[in-house]
Amino acid sequence: MLLLWKKGHPNLKMNKEDQPLRQSRLGEHGCISFAASPGVKYKWMLHESEQWFSRAKKVQGPDWYWSGDVEPVEYIFDSLGFRNDKTIQEISNNKKWWLFDSSCPGLAPGVHTQDMTANIITEYTDIPVYNMSIYGDRPEFVANNILELSKRWQNPPSKILLHMAENPTGTYKLTNTNSIMNLDYAGSMLKGGDNFSFFRSFEEQKISEGQHRLAYKTLIDLCSSLNIPLTWLYTGYESDITSANDFKDQDFIEWFGYASAGHFEKDDTFDVRQSKVKDMIIKPFMECKTPPDKTVDEVGRDLYHPSASQQRLWAQVITQHFLETKRNF
């Protein structure tokens, strides 16, 4: 099995921009974000690498958009480890600006900077947007990051938009080096693991459901105490295991077209979910193919997360929501 997440050869030195970004950490700045150097134009993220991309072009063939002579994707991060080409101080210097977090899709692996949802919202509304999205985002990470950003912004955001996402079999641990180690069976499979007794127990006892409900309540109270309007972004499915229904009295934007592959049904057993992860995530990663429920036009260069066209559709849904509900931009 090809272990897509393994480190490179220990004797092979890579330029910083060639090193795939895969690790989130609690930085000295206090934020939980990518351990990225500001201004460096990184070429790869998550499972992407030069080796993976070469194989993907062979599998997808010459008609694949990314097989052609196109502008390469560059990942640029600010000094806090978030994917922005402007600092929080620059963006918050405006009296009206939005704080945006849409987890992995908002981070936009495999998509150009100008095609990210956050930047397209700015294109549609002329409102600057700071992108706080990170890989493997969890609501408790979001609360921490909002507090840290509040110490730095010049003016508070006029809106906070937060992705409501849950991983029923996932948790994390903070290592001695302050790295965030996501613990779920998808990541374990990618690394070649096969012992899922911990995840089975974690899910069957519904540990994450209680954790998420408390974390969402904390975020609601936090935004209320900061006197900042909060809008939830929900891209799951009605049948997903989710705490979303507990917060339907909040401002809520739903769009199921943006959902990532590999969603779970409410009544799925642990073994069924494990099988779905293999078929919908792990196998496509290994074979450099799209998930079975996605077309090549719906995913970015990484062949998994939303493409530029899907990012634009999501930005349209968000913008239209505020127009239809007559909520001020």
In this prediction, residue 149 carries a pLDDT of 98
In this prediction, residue 123 carries a pLDDT of 97
What pTM did the predictor assign? 0.90
pLDDT in tens, 47-70: 899 999 999 999 999 999 999 999
In this prediction, residue 208 carries a pLDDT of 78
d(CA 217, CA 247) in angstroms, rounded, equals 9
User: What backbone phi and psi angles, to 5 degrees, belong to 182?
Assistant: -70, 130
Extract the residue ranges of the chain whose pLDDT is less than 50.
Answer: 1-11, 238-241
Q: Which residues contact 221 (CB under 8 A, 6 or more apart)?
A: none
d(CA 198, CA 274) in angstroms, rounded, equals 13
Domains recognised in the chain with CATH numbers:
48-324 (3.40.50.1110)
End-to-end CA distance of the chain: 49
Only one residue has tokens 């002579």, namely 69
In this prediction, residue 11 carries a pLDDT of 44
In this prediction, residue 3 carries a pLDDT of 43
In this prediction, residue 245 carries a pLDDT of 61
In this prediction, residue 241 carries a pLDDT of 45
CA angle 229, 233, 239 (to 5 degrees): 135
d(CA 296, CA 299) in angstroms, rounded, equals 6
Q: Are residues 209 and 138 in contact, defined by beta-carbon separation less than 8 angstroms?
A: no
pLDDT in tens, 15-26: 888 888 888 999
Tokens describing residue 161? 């938009």
In this prediction, residue 280 carries a pLDDT of 84
Taking the CA atoms of 139, 141, 144 and 149 in sequence, report the sign of the dihedral they define. negative
Ordered strands of the 251-254 beta sheet: 129-131, 98-101, 159-163, 230-234, 251-254
d(CA 48, CA 6) in angstroms, rounded, equals 12
In this prediction, residue 239 carries a pLDDT of 41
